[in-house]
Structure 1
Amino acid sequence: MIGDFLVSAYPWTKALHVMSVIAWMAGLFYLPRLFVYHAERASPGSELEATLIVMERKLLKLIINPAGVATWVFGLALVFTPGVIDWGSDIWAYVKAVLVIGMTVFYHALVAWQRAFEKGRNSHPGRYFRLMNEVPTVLMIGIVLMVIVKPF
């Protein structure tokens, strides 16, 4: 019953998943860049710091959080759609799952860093956030290769 619905909804589910991923990734790419500016250019209590705190909070709450939830919901719907993944032989799906979990761990780190900035407790320099800005790119490359190329 539910399997039949998922099969019939597959094109819509896939389209909504891709749109959600694009929005989630846009936020995951941009928030660490805001952290770089925050760490390097915003003096405690300055107008710039207040502006960055608002921008970071709104990006997280209005874009990244909803897009991340939608990505997971539509992604899981795809996982449970009959015929999409053969968990007995599709090793790529396991690799992708690990990479997606890694992306989710990175997202939770962003949440923690945003809270630290908001409370005036950031302990990382701008260079740290420049390096962290590369993490979602590396994970995204792996995820896309697993889904499109399916090398395993």
Structure 2
Amino acid sequence: MTYLWLKALHIISVMVWIGGMFVAAVAVTTLSASKPLSDAPGRADILDAVRRWDRRATSPAMALAWLFGVAVAMQGGWFGSPWLMMKLVFVVALSGLHGMLSGLLRNLGRTDRPAPMSGYLPPAIIAAIVVIVLLVVLKPY
């Protein structure tokens, strides 16, 4: 029963984390392509709301996803499994991407310069999630 609760909490926290990352990525992409902060009505409000959500929900959800994920892996006895090690590579990459997104959100508030390669952020998140889900469900190795 403990395993099922841990797995449910892991999935819930991952959904909040990835959902928040996707919102941040779309916001960075959209706001980078729009007019300068001073010229676009509502742009500062949107940026503030996304930054606040990132701090209050997305970042804590990432920490909880890691915590519950490690607990699930320990319960399942999967440490050392090749599929889990491959999954962790992508999860570490997503964690780094989350940090980069947080930094881009802060920088957009200070400067009107567009975020470099911001258009690639949403597809990168989706691609990583697809690989992670396939690894977890199929456990190919």
Indicate if the aligned counterparts of 1:92 and 1:150 stay in contact, CA closer than 8 A: yes
Bigger Rg, which one: 1
1:71-86 to 2 correspondences below 5 Å = 71-81=65-75, 83-85=76-78
TM-score norm. by structure 1 comes to 0.83
Q: In the aligned structure 2, how far is the partner of 1:111 from the partner of 1:32?
A: 9
Pairing partner for 1:32 from 25, 35, 40: 25
RMSD: 1.7
SS at match of 1:98: helix
- The number of residue pairs the alignment matches comes to 140
TM-score norm. by structure 2 comes to 0.89
Question: Residue type matched to 1:35 in 2?
Answer: V
Deviation of the 1:33 alpha carbon:
0.8
Deviations 1:26-69 (A, max 9, x none): 11111111112211224222432211221221221122112111
Q: Where do 4+ consecutive residues of structure 1 move more than 3 Å?
A: none
Indicate if the aligned counterparts of 1:21 and 1:68 stay in contact, CA closer than 8 A: yes
* Structure 2 portions without partners, runs of 5+: none
* Structure 1 portions without partners, runs of 5+: 1-7
Deviation of the 1:123 alpha carbon:
4.0
Indicate if the aligned counterparts of 1:20 and 1:70 stay in contact, CA closer than 8 A: yes
Question: Residue type matched to 1:50 in 2?
Answer: A
Question: Residue type matched to 2:37 in 1?
Answer: P
Q: In the aligned structure 2, how far is the partner of 1:121 from the partner of 1:79?
A: 43
> 1:147: which partner in 2?
136
> 1:5: which partner in 2?
none
Q: In the aligned structure 2, how far is the partner of 1:124 from the partner of 1:20?
A: 27
Q: In the aligned structure 2, how far is the partner of 1:135 from the partner of 1:144?
A: 14
Give identity over the alignment, percent: 24
> 1:54: which partner in 2?
48
